[in-house]
């Protein structure tokens, strides 16, 4: 079974609007972490935000927030006030501490385009 | 800032050639990883290492080997390159424990084309 699923190959948003990128995951490990990375056209992966499975509150980093719904096994990324520079590929990833230690498993990615 | 440097940004090789992809990190990270990125498939783990001379297979190790003789350097080797190994290869590193273990730092990637 796919461990990380991103069902939106491509998303479009108008500048200054908010956008939600979906991510669902599958694990039986009680201790896990969820990550979002951004990959601009230059190719380098940029870490955006992290949510631990035991964290009580949703993670936030500036304009990025992670909508963590543990029972639904979803970890959607919300980008508020989109900017042209947000156009990039976005990857959701998971680390299962007991099952696979330091390894990260990535989803297929979502290509976000911000229109002016 | 943590820096992960991949030696070659673009490579073109012929089928059957031996290919070395080098990765160096300068922040004393224990963990190092090699991922392969293909459109629609995301990133897939080839090999990783948590210490010098230690290596573990990832999800797609077939056709690849790795070498970690020094803590800062992790090499990916294609013993006999094939066209289906044409891809973007990403190296990453992280701490083994502590809050820093939660974040992988990536290099800029090496785009390999096998003809």
Encode pLDDT of A37-82 as tens digits.
999 998 889 999 999 999 989 999 999 999 999 999 999 999 999 9
- Enter the DSSP assignment of A87: -
Q: Which residues of chain B does A101 touch, with a Cβ-Cβ cutoff of 8 Å?
A: 50
A104 to chain B, any CB pair closer than 8 A? The answer is yes
Per-residue pLDDT of B60-98, as tens digits, reads 999 999 999 999 999 999 999 999 999 999 999 988 777
Q: What percent of chain B has pLDDT over 90?
A: 78
Q: How far is A87 from chain B (nearest CA, A)?
A: 17
Q: Which residues of chain B does A108 touch, with a Cβ-Cβ cutoff of 8 Å?
A: 40-42
CB contact under 8 A, A103 and B58: yes
Task: Check pLDDT > 80 for residue A100.
Answer: no
By C-alpha distance, which of A86, A105, A104, A107 is closest to A39? A86
B73 Cβ contact list (under 8 Å, min separation 6):
B22, B23, B24
Of A6, A33, A105, the CB nearest to B102: A33
Taking CA atoms, A103 is separated from A45, A55, B66, B71, B76, in Å, by 16, 20, 16, 18, 17
CB contact under 8 A, B105 and A103: no
∠ Cα A45 A9 B83 (to 5°): 70
Of B35, B58, B103, the CB nearest to A50: B103
Closest chain B residue to A50, measured at CA: B102
By C-alpha distance, which of B88, B96, B94 is closest to B43? B88
Residue A99's H or E segment, with its range, is: helix A97-100
């Amino acid at each position: 079974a796919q461990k990380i699923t991103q069902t939106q190959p491509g998303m479009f948003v108008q500048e200054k609007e908010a956008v939600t990128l979906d991510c669902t995951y599958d694990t039986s490990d009680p201790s896990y972490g969820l990550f979002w990375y951004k990959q601009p056209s230059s190719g380098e992966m940029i870490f955006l935000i992290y949510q631990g499975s035991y964290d009580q509150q949703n993670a936030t980093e500036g304009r990025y927030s992670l909508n963590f719904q543990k029972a639904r096994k979803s970890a959607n990324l919300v980008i508020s006030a989109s900017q042209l520079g947000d156009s990039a590929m976005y990857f959701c990833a998971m680390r299962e501490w007991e099952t696979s230690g330091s390894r990260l498993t990535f989803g297929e990615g979502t290509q976000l385009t911000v229109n002016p | 800032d943590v820096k992960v440097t991949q030696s070659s940004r673009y490579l073109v090789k012929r089928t059957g050639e031996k290919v070395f992809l080098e990765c160096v990190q300068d922040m004393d990270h224990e963990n190092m990883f090699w991922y392969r990125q293909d459109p629609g498939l995301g990133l897939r783990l080839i090999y990783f290492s948590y210490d010098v001379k230690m290596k573990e297979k990832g999800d797609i190790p077939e056709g690849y080997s790795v070498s970690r003789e020094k803590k800062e350097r992790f090499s990916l080797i294609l013993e006999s390159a094939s066209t289906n190994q044409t891809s973007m290869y990403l190296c990453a590193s992280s701490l083994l424990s502590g809050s820093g273990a939660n974040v992988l730092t990536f290099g800029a990637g090496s785009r390999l084309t096998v003809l």
